[in-house]
């Protein structure tokens, strides 16, 4: 079987060998086992279902939310002589019906559909007439409400599978799935947990960096000057920011276009095309841009403000370097951006449980901005990888400032959090440690704690920054919604017991504190 797959790979796609994970996923599917495939962006997920589609009898149904990509995919398949089509809302009613009839008669090896089709009872009935041997669910994380891009119509896939006289083999593919989302995909598509094939999320050609405490506009102009004419994307949080940045850059002589949902359809398509075909080098955009964009030579993705969570960040940043060349993923962090993201969550129509989850994800995103450990490693851990190797080339791995031992200061903070019974947020903990005596402290009798005033040589701001650092390094964790409380993370226990030492880079106020207080 494997030889045949290799032959098809060479014959239709011109490649000599499979990439990591591809052969395993393909042979699993060919052996009739449902499979969840997790591979990083650019890892080559399409081939994982396209090759089985050619080797299995009948038709493969591909469910994809990316309407703009379907045509490209189908055209690319047609170019190499593979019969494929797509059915989505871009077609007229008649055209859709004709294609469906042709699909039922077995004309195509692959049929791409948008998940919204599954909401139509007539369409589901028509599907039953097709001889479907494989269903490929692309962007499978969209099925989970714990993913960052939940699509309710993905939930119809389950019913669709049940409609077939014989259940087809199912391939679920994604590049962004936390363990919780993966478990959801398995549960909702009834795929056994032991049929998950993951090649890891690491993208070795991406150079992650967080810029803190610098003027973002000055950083941008400086960076663009040094990387003139390189294609790149700048993500901003609001349309207003996009408009302002774009005209600012154009005025400064850079070739920049913009993209956000407030532009007309024509403007959006025009600006996107100009970027894709390298007429403008930089595209300033909100997160409305990017789904389904396949531009391989993006050399940098700069986030002008804080993204809402790590999944969204990794997906947006991951649009850099799809061609495998070195590319930068830079996040410009200003603490005041946190408020905007909280506002977005607060204003959304999510229910309380989901809002709480979103706040938690935002806190983990903020942790990324504060960590001094490997940035790629932080992301991989978020996606469930255990003890990832440091990448050796992110901003933190390359930060050669000397490390100081801040264990004693860390112990003070951690024991104060414990004494406060993990019931208060960062500011209250900082106040107690600084020995502040405002009304709240006095009325809760926090001034009687043994840790009260333990860091009184520090300002509250300095202590709060140090708490951010400890949170970023995952000694502390934030619990709850919009106003989270600080709690000890598992790692904290070893520090309190004196079994693990804490190090921090650069000039640290907390270090000076040790000099004063010991």
**Complete edge-to-edge strand list for the sheet that includes strand 327-333:** 206-212, 327-333, 300-303, 232-235, 282-285, 256-259
CA–CA separation, 427 and 467 (whole Å): 9
Q: Which is nearer to ligand ADP, 9 or 428 (CB)?
A: 9
Nearest to 401 by CA among 512, 515, 503, 516: 503
Least distance to ligand ADP from the beta carbon of 4, Å? 15
Q: Which is nearer to ligand ADP, 39 or 410 (CB)?
A: 39
Name residue 111's beta-bridge partners: 61, 85
Q: Which is nearer to ligand ADP, 170 or 249 (CB)?
A: 170
Q: Which is nearer to ligand ADP, 72 or 273 (CB)?
A: 72
Residue 228 and residue 252 in contact, taking contact as beta carbons nearer than 8 Å: no
Q: Which is nearer to ligand ADP, 149 or 357 (CB)?
A: 149
Residue 320 and residue 438 in contact, taking contact as beta carbons nearer than 8 Å: no
Nearest to 370 by CA among 211, 240, 140, 485: 211
Treating both helix axes as pointing N-terminal to C-terminal, what angle do 310-317 and 375-382 enclose, rounded to 10 degrees? 120
CA–CA separation, 144 and 180 (whole Å): 9
Least distance to ligand ADP from the beta carbon of 487, Å? 37
Residue 110 and residue 133 in contact, taking contact as beta carbons nearer than 8 Å: no
Q: Which is nearer to ligand ADP, 21 or 367 (CB)?
A: 21
Least distance to ligand ADP from the beta carbon of 280, Å? 23
Least distance to ligand ADP from the beta carbon of 381, Å? 22
Least distance to ligand ADP from the beta carbon of 45, Å? 3
Least distance to ligand ADP from the beta carbon of 8, Å? 12
CA–CA separation, 195 and 66 (whole Å): 25
Least distance to ligand ADP from the beta carbon of 329, Å? 16
CA–CA separation, 153 and 407 (whole Å): 50
Least distance to ligand ADP from the beta carbon of 21, Å? 10
CA–CA separation, 137 and 157 (whole Å): 9
CA–CA separation, 156 and 183 (whole Å): 18
Nearest to 217 by CA among 196, 240, 239, 246: 246
Phi, psi of 26 (to 5 degrees): -65, -45
Query: Which residues contribute to the site for ligand ADP (CB under 6 A)?
Result: 15, 18-19, 22, 39, 41-47
Q: Which is nearer to ligand ADP, 113 or 211 (CB)?
A: 113
Q: Which is nearer to ligand ADP, 170 or 486 (CB)?
A: 170
Helix-strand-coil split of the chain, %, nearest 5:
45, 15, 40
Least distance to ligand ADP from the beta carbon of 155, Å? 23
Residue nearest to ligand ADP (CB): 44
Q: Which is nearer to ligand ADP, 173 or 374 (CB)?
A: 173
Least distance to ligand ADP from the beta carbon of 178, Å? 18
Q: Which long-range contacts (CB under 8 A, 24 or more apart) does 2-10 make?
A: 2/27, 4/55, 5/30, 5/51, 5/55, 8/51, 8/54, 8/55, 9/47, 9/51
Structure-token pair, residue 278: 């390298």
Q: Which is nearer to ligand ADP, 301 or 432 (CB)?
A: 301
Q: Which is nearer to ligand ADP, 9 or 362 (CB)?
A: 9
The DSSP secondary-structure symbol of 202 reads: -
Least distance to ligand ADP from the beta carbon of 76, Å? 9
């Amino acid at each position: 079987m494997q030889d045949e797959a290799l032959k098809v790979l060479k014959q239709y796609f011109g490649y000599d060998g499979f990439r990591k994970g591809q052969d395993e996923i393909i042979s699993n599917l060919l052996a009739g086992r449902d499979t969840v495939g997790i591979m990083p962006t650019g890892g080559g997920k399409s081939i994982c279902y396209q090759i089985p589609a050619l080797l299995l009898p009948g038709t493969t149904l591909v469910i994809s939310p990316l309407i703009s990509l379907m045509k490209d995919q189908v055209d690319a398949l047609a170019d190499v002589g593979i019969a494929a089509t797509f059915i989505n809302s871009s077609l007229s009613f008649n055209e859709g019906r004709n294609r469906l009839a042709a699909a039922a008669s077995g004309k195509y090896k692959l049929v791409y559909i948008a998940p919204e089709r599954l909401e139509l009872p007539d369409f589901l009935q028509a599907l039953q007439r097709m001889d479907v041997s494989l269903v490929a669910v692309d962007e499978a994380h969209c099925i989970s409400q714990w993913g960052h891009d939940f699509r309710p119509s993905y939930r119809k896939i389950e019913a669709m599978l049940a409609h077939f006289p014989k259940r087809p083999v199912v391939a679920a593919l994604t590049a962004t799935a936390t363990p919780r989302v993966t478990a959801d995909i398995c549960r909702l598509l009834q795929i056994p947990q032991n049929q998950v094939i993951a090649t890891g999320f690491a993208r070795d050609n991406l150079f992650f960096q967080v810029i803190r405490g610098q003027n973002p506009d000055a950083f941008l102009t400086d960076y663009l000057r040094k990387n003139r004419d390189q294609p790149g994307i700048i993500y901003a949080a609001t349309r207003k920011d996009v408009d302002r940045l774009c005209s600012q850059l154009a005025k400064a002589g850079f070739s920049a276009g913009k993209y956000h949902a407030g532009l007309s359809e024509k403007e959006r398509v025009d600006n996107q095309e100009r970027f894709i075909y390298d007429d403008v080098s930089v595209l300033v955009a909100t997160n409305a841009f990017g789904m389904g964009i396949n531009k391989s030579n993006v050399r940098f993705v700069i986030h002008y403000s804080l993204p809402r969570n790590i999944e969204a960040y990794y997906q947006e940043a991951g649009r850099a370097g799809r061609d495998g060349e070195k590319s930068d993923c830079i996040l410009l962090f200003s603490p005041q951006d946190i408020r905007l993201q909280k506002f977005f969550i607060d204003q959304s129509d999510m229910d309380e449980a989901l809002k709480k989850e979103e706040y938690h994800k935002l806190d983990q995103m903020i942790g990324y901005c504060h960590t001094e450990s490997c940035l790629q490693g932080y992301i991989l851990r978020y996606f469930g990888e255990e003890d990832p190797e440091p990448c050796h080339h992110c901003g933190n791995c390359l930060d050669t400032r000397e490390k100081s031992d801040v264990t004693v200061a860390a112990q003070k903070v951690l024991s104060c959090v414990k004494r406060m019974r993990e019931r208060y947020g960062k500011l209250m903990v900082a106040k107690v440690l600084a020995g502040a005596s405002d009304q709240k402290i006095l009325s809760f009798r926090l001034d009687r704690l043994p840790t009260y005033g333990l860091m009184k040589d520090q300002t509250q701001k300095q202590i709060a920054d140090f708490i951010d650092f400890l949170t970023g390094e995952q000694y502390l964790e934030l619990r709850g919604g919009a106003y989270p409380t600080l709690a000890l993370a598992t790692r904290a226990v070893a520090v309190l017991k004196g079994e693990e030492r804490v190090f921090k880079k650069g000039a640290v106020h907390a270090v000076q504190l040790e000099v004063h207080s010991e």
